[in-house]
Amino acid sequence: MSQASKDLEGEIKNVVKSGKVVLGFKRSLKAILLGRAKAVIVASKIPRSFYEDIRRYATLGGVPVINFNGSSKDLGLVCGKPFPVTVIAVLDLSGTRLLDFVSSG
């Protein structure tokens, strides 16, 4: 595992611990549409339609998308959850370095 992946996992753990997140596709999409999401973290192995919807609405709303290099099960484990997590909407970026991990693709 690369240092960047470890750093991203650490940042995800910190932001989830702060409680300023929304987990799941539907709730994250709603947060994007309402303008509450400041960033979105997406697992790499999710249905293409989910990714396209998140990417489309995040782009329209000016919300940065961070690609997590792991499955939804891996993202769930990083969040400390016993279930897969496909998308995380971050509601507050203060005190995090998540924007350092924003991809251009």
Query: Which residues sit opposite 65 in a β-bridge?
Result: 40
Domain range summary for the chain, segments of one domain joined by +: 3-101
Query: Please, are residues 85 and 27 in contact by the beta-carbon 8 Å criterion?
Result: no
pLDDT in tens, 42-55: 999 899 999 999 99
**pTM exceeds 0.75 for this model:** yes
The DSSP letter of residue 98 is G
pLDDT in tens, 72-105: 999 999 999 999 999 999 999 888 888 888 864 4
Identify the H or E element spanning 20.
Answer: none
pLDDT-wise least confident of 1-10, 23-32, 89-98 = 1-10
pLDDT in tens, 29-38: 999 999 999 9
Q: Sorting pLDDT into bands at 50, 70 and 90, what band is 1?
A: low
CA–CA separation, 50 and 52 (whole Å): 6
**Which segments of 1-105 does DSSP mark as H helices, in order?**
3-18, 25-33, 48-61, 72-78
How open is the CA angle 47-51-56, to the nearest 5 degrees? 145
The CATH architecture assigned to 3-101 reads: 2-Layer Sandwich (3.30)
What lies within 8 Å, CB to CB, of 95 at 6+ separation is 14, 18
